[in-house]
Amino acid sequence: MADELTVLFMPESAYGPTNNCVGIGDVLRRRGHRVVFAAEASWKGKLAPLGFEEDLVDLTPPAEDAAEQDAGQFWKDFIRDTAPEFRKPTFEQLDTWIKPVWEELISGAKYCEPRLKEIIGRVRPDVIVEDNVVCFPALTTAGVPFVRIVSCNPLEVKSPEVPPPFSGYPIDDRSRWRDFAAEYDRTHRALWEEFSAWCVAQGARPLPELEFIHEGDLNLYVYPEAADYPRELGAAWHRLDSSVRATDDSFELPGELRTGEGALIYFSLGSLGSADIELMRRVISVLGATPHRYIVSKGPLHEEIDLPGNMWGAEFVPQTQVIPLVDLVITHGGNNTTTESLHFGKPMVLLPLFWDQYDNAQRVDELGLGVRLDTYRFSAEQLTGAIDGLLGDTALRERLGKTGAEIRARDGVTLAADLIERAARA
């Protein structure tokens, strides 16, 4: 087509950001545009069947004898090895978990910079879209519009009006905000200064104060208006109430779950959180004693997880096809699952583990849209009580039904595609 655009996506190598880009990219692809993914190398063969071009990057030197990895395997391994840190308060995690994550992200950005420049020179995109939390200078110095997507909790876009990101602190109690921000400064300033200097050496602008990524010519963030924070962002920022892909496989409820008493509930700790086998087993043991039926996303270590008779599960389940069928979602609070649950009007029990999951869990809890529990210290009675309380709250279910209908009507993936097209042509 005469006005065909070439859109280059670079998502973080995790299912949440990648699935977000897949949903938006699918709309652009169906409009006749060329959509290329500069995803991390473990996504090889996963994106081409969806109609996208793959021009992939390594974030670390590939091992000479390495077998083909599962998609996002690097972060699955990282989460598995650092899981003990999740038992610490968020304040303590700043130094022992958040900072190491930034260090890994920065290392990957530095390693793949030459490859990204090659890809951009070869693909010649009209617009570049990044869904990540760290700067890749090649993406911002290519001479074409740069679009930043925030598919984490929007506290990532910092403001004195809202709690500091990664804290999980409430919005109506500022007593700990200043200390948390000061600890973030103490633990991260030297790393930020070094990374900003490296970005400048690659031809990029200096990074904003204590930020690891620039704003784009266009900035999109994924969060429903009904759960958003009370503040104003700049004119270059646009909210997508949700970003639900239409590429998931269809799903038919397994026969053993079609009948029986109790509610139908979806349980997922995400592709990364489910690597904590001890936690998965504990939650499943509590749920197995309830009268409800469960669909379980078992994750990469699925062979190590046995399910009782009131459950069905698989390594991966088509989440956007499953959530509409259930009465309740038990989740880690990842941004995709949180926003998709609200998109379909489902209450949540939240068991946050890391990064923005604490912020999502706190926001859902303080708005009365679900219940946040202490992930490693909840009692069986607290979990079952939260489930029964949410299932029995008729007013909440009606409220969420209306909220979900409003979110779906706003059609976030179409809005994102419209805005990206507009940016590319401007």
Find tokens 């391994």 and name the residue: 77
CB 48 within 8 A of CB 54: yes
What is the pairing mode between strands 237-240 and 264-268? Answer: unpaired
Edge-to-edge strands, sheet with 34-37: 53-54, 34-37, 6-11, 127-131, 146-150, 218-222, 237-240
pLDDT at 1 over 50: no
Q: Could you list the beta-strand ranges (E) of 270-372.
A: 293-297, 311-314, 328-331, 348-350, 370-372
Q: How many CB atoms lie within 10 A of CB 77?
A: 14
Averaged pLDDT score across all residues of the chain: 91
Euclidean distance between CA atoms 83 and 124, whole angstroms: 40
Q: What percentage of the chain has pLDDT greater than the value 70?
A: 95
Structure tokens at 316: 């991966």
Structure tokens at 332: 């880690």
Structure tokens at 377: 């210290």
CB 11 within 8 A of CB 17: yes
Of the listed ranges 63-67, 85-89, 209-213, 231-235, the one predicted with least confidence? 63-67
Model pLDDT for residues 46-104, shown as the tens digit of each residue: 999 999 999 999 988 876 655 555 554 555 566 666 677 888 999 999 999 999 999 99
Phi-psi region of 124 (alpha: psi -120 to 50; beta: other; left: phi over 0): left
Q: How many CB atoms lie within 10 A of CB 362?
A: 23
Q: Domains in the chain, start-ordered, CATH in brackets?
A: 6-244+411-425 (3.40.50.2000), 255-409 (3.40.50.2000)
Query: pTM of this prediction?
Result: 0.91
> Residue 50 is which amino acid?
L
Structure tokens at 205: 């602008």
